[in-house]
Structure 1
Amino acid sequence: MKRITIRLPEQQITLLEKMVEAGEFPTVSEAIRDAVRMLIEKRATRVLADSDQLSF
């Protein structure tokens, strides 16, 4: 697994930490990975289709 660094507003970090405390996620990192997975599932198909159109 590769490491990246992101900057988030304090309010978002606080909410992520509260989700961990509530048992929604084991760690803040896992919460962020879940959000990234959902974003990729939602948009990857469209992005890949657009890139295929550009290759012609």
Structure 2
Amino acid sequence: MSAGEKAKAKTEQVVGKAVRKTAHAMGKETTAAKGAALETRGRARGAKEKAKGRFGH
């Protein structure tokens, strides 16, 4: 897993979680959904990079 991609994945997860929780607390469900999507995208990116690392690509 490259360091750059790993950082992107972790950043997306952290930012998405922060956006989701803040927006949910403020009652902005549309923005909360966007934050959840960002968090999920970060998790998917991390999983993809881990899989690439396991197979030596």
TM over 0.5: no
Whichever of the two has the greater Rg, that structure is 1
Shorter-chain TM-score tier:
0.3 to 0.5
Higher relative contact order (CA 8 A, sep 6+): 2
TM-score normalised per structure 2? 0.37
Give the helix-richer structure, 1 or 2: 2
